[in-house]
Amino acid sequence: MSGWRFSGRGAPKTVLAALPLLVAGCASTVVQENLAETSAFAVREMGMEVQLQSTSDARATAASLARVLLAEPLTADGAVQLALGYSPAFQRMLADSAAASAAATQSARLPNPILSYSRLAAGDVSEIERALTVSLLDFILLPQRRRLADLQQTQHRLRSAGDVIAVATEARQAWINAVAAGQSLAYAEQAKRSAEAGAELARRMTAVGNFSRIEAAREQAFYADTTAEVARAQLEVQRTREILIRLLGLPGDLAAMLQLPQRLPDVPATPDDQSVLARRAFDERLDVALARAELDFTARSLGLTRVTSTVNAFELGAASTSDTGEETLEGYELEVRLPLFDFGDARRANAEAVYLAALNRTAVVLAEAQSHLRESYFAYRTTYDLARHYRD
């Protein structure tokens, strides 16, 4: 007996032959496109490109750039450039994003067809069975899965853009804190020298009877306080410096090269306008865009779950069987999983609840974004006014 069986799960032979062309897509191309878009975002917002350093030459180039930047006192822009162009932590974020992009591409592909072959023989009689199996349901749902994958790619690009902003902001803030700590140390040392001179003068005047012991003790106490303040300022300088080193990912040799300016830049002549700043910040908030993208993805996933929750297997194929000396039998076979024990209601309820949670999470993000912008501007304006007050 010999025979063959094509269980194509609904896909004709011509369609099956064309499947590799229909579903082909290079995951590395999608990854490179996402990295290129992240780099373009960094150029637009930070004025510099970012890249995933996947070769030793690229990493050596980044190390050379770091040495050039550290050869002189590091600026705030230089700190951002090091964080985005050298930091291993940021490189890990880019690699994680590339892996997530590749996984999203994989989720939109059909499973590979299964080719099976069996041969049974007894004397002069043999039975051969061949089967090539693909999933008709997966093929039908392929456009929907591709749309879901596209939404996932949008989410990954937004997260990568958020990583760029977060890393750059943390690096700039760490630089400001480190420079401010050094400037505070300089002021503390100046106060200590003045207090030391005052304490010495009080000691001498007390010795000749022109100063009371209480007044001399007060000067000595002030000198002791300023000495302690210098010690605390030195500790803060070391602490903020190490924070900056960790954010930039500098190893021992590069950390030893780190130099910082002696003072912060001057206060701007005028503060930014609240309406313009708030409108631009809200329009460009990545958490708002990401929440909306996640809501779209959840809505699409809900539609897919409604389809697959009841019927998740549908196999259709042509079959042909022949026995030795017998007429060949031809026909078809249909396999459908009957929803007798699991009607899919639990999966549908879960998907609907997840969608409602995403909908309310988006509303929360929008409300919190507006509130944070108002709070941030108030803090910015208060700090600006205090800086001008102390300066003047």
pLDDT digits (tens, 9 = 90+) for 11-53: 444 444 444 544 445 667 888 888 888 888 888 888 888 888 8
Short-list 18, 19, 27, 22, CA closest to 106 = 27
Q: Which of 211-215, 265-269, 371-375 has the lowest mean pLDDT?
A: 371-375
Q: Are 52 and 91 in contact (CB under 8 A)?
A: yes
Q: Alpha-carbon distance 362 to 294, whole Å?
A: 9
The pLDDT, as a whole number, for residue 98 is: 86
- CA atoms within 13 Å, Cβ hemisphere of 267: 16
**CA distance linking residue 126 with residue 141, whole number of Å:** 39
Is 237's pLDDT higher than 90?
A: yes
Given a cut of 50, whether residue 383 has pLDDT beyond it is yes
Confidence of residue 238 (pLDDT cuts 50, 70, 90): very high
Beta strands in the chain (DSSP E): 2-6, 114-122, 125-133, 314-322, 329-336
Encode pLDDT of 357-372 as tens digits: 777 777 777 777 777 7
pTM for the model stands at 0.70
* Chain-centroid distance, C-alpha 35: 12
Q: Residues of the chain with pLDDT > 90: what percent?
A: 17
CA distance 321 to 331: 9
Average pLDDT for the chain: 76
Lowest mean pLDDT among 49-63, 192-206, 207-221, 271-285: 271-285
What's the CA dihedral at 167, 172, 178, 180 to 10 degrees?
Answer: -150
245 vs 232: CA distance, rounded Å: 20
Rounded percentage of the chain residues whose pLDDT exceeds 70: 68
Residues contacting residue 59 through CB under 8 Å, at least 6 positions apart:
53
- Rounded distance between C-alpha atoms, residue 61 and residue 86, angstroms: 9
Integer Cα distance of 326 and 271 in angstroms: 94
DSSP letter assigned to residue 11: -
How far apart (Å, rounded) are the C-alpha atoms in residues 376 and 281?
A: 11
What is the separation, in whole angstroms, between the first and last Cα of the chain? 102
Q: Which of 47-61, 77-91, 146-160, 315-329 has the lowest mean pLDDT?
A: 315-329
- pLDDT at residue number 302: 62
**Does the pLDDT value for residue 67 go beyond 90?**
yes
pLDDT in tens, 241-286: 999 999 999 998 899 999 999 888 887 777 776 655 555 554 556 6
pLDDT for residue 341 is more than 60: no
Q: Is the pLDDT of residue 342 over 70?
A: no
Alpha carbon of residue 101 to chain centroid: 12
